[in-house]
Structure 1
């Protein structure tokens, strides 16, 4: 469900307004009935697939929309234990059988390490009585979330040492990946993984690359 005038399911522009069913939803009658049964006031609904060995690095979505009476709901259709969301220093596995609320204007990242594909139905909705009724009954099982450990000075030294060695051998993208993945292993401050990469390049004298990652941090985490 989106705002495409020709009901194009590939239109990913999110904006205000009442959406219309896409041509894809016409082929999914069970999903169409399920959405109708929720009784929610939808702004946008889509299927989101995350393939194995995939990462969505720390970012913030649509802060201008979701801090003003709009909410994002995730409905996992297919998932696996390696598919997790990280936010505020905690790792969360969104298991099937539940409807999950995410505040996308809060910094977060997602990974799917081993597969199979993670497939979620994502619904952006407005605040109304039906949403308030759902939101009044939140719960989180203990096994669904785990706090990440704080990075110690020794952890940081080992990580930066490994990344530095890779960069010195010419494997700069691999060095950056090592540091980006630290976001999923440690409770870093917001933008902490990007700061590590900036430091890596500054230590190498690669000022252009350091500036590029500073800009990336600002762009991805803009409020």
Structure 2
């Protein structure tokens, strides 16, 4: 039987760190929106479509290299065209593994997942600097909805299951830095505060899930199977659910449809996206 992981306190999953100068953030926002970035779609299995990244620092120095790996990061040519952003990164004095811009379009989702499982087992952290966002763009972690507002650095622990969405737009653009633990990071982390406006999502009743599953079945019977799957995946952003529930619902839908191959595919996707031990 699959073991359920205990739910961590919100402060272990997402915190606010250092507040940034508004003028600096505005300059960085302008750079992010106007720089000649080679945006790449990657990690397609994690998203609905509409999520793009480009690298500012990595081991290769190539901005189009966006598949995350361990290594000592160096600036890409893209970062060299973004002086305000480069100055912030240099001023923080952190040990960078990877730094990128991430753009999430309207009506786009990063499905429930964990990160870092494919990397070396060393202590590292993920920092977010929101540069262009809106109130309909939010993170869900531990059954809690958090809008990462601009003007400060946020710290996310992506080894906890989480997902991101941008419902209405405009584009959500964040600077994301993966950093190794060192004294500079620890000094920054001393300023951590729990998000003040976090919203706990309601728990889903059996009736709620049965209603959504029935709606998904109707879509699938009409031939709209991908839409049925996405309807269930989006439950993660509306309800506080036990980890992996949306993937179990989709696998169960395909069992009901008599499609054992699709059932196995979604069972494997759950293990991969949530980094579950075999």
Same fold (TM > 0.5) = yes
2:266 paired residue among 208, 213, 216: 213
Structure 1 residue runs without a partner (length 5+) = none
Structure 2 residue runs without a partner (length 5+) = 1-56
Q: What does residue 136 of structure 1 align with?
A: 190
Q: After superposition, what is the alpha-carbon deviation per residue over 1:88-134, rounded to whole angstroms, capped at 9, x for unaligned?
A: 11111111012111111211111111111110001111111111111
Q: Secondary structure at the match of 1:217?
A: helix
Q: What does residue 79 of structure 1 align with?
A: 133
Rounded to whole Å, the distance in 1 between the matches of 2:274 and 2:194 is: 26
Rounded to whole Å, the distance in 2 between the matches of 1:193 and 1:92 is: 20
2:167 paired residue among 102, 113, 125: 113
Contact persistence 1:66–1:103 (CA under 8 A): no
Q: CA 1:66–1:119 in structure 2 vs 1: closer, same or farther (change >3 Å)?
A: farther
Q: What does residue 223 of structure 2 align with?
A: 170
> What number of residue pairs does the alignment pair up?
220
**What TM-score do the two structures reach when normalised by structure 2?**
0.76
Contact persistence 1:66–1:104 (CA under 8 A): no
Contact persistence 1:67–1:105 (CA under 8 A): no
Q: Does 1:201 align with 2:254?
A: yes
Give 4+ residue runs of structure 1 displaced > 3 Å after superposition. Answer: 64-67
Q: Secondary structure at the match of 1:9?
A: coil
**What TM-score do the two structures reach when normalised by structure 1?**
0.94
Give matches, 1:90-109, under 5 Å.
90-109=144-163
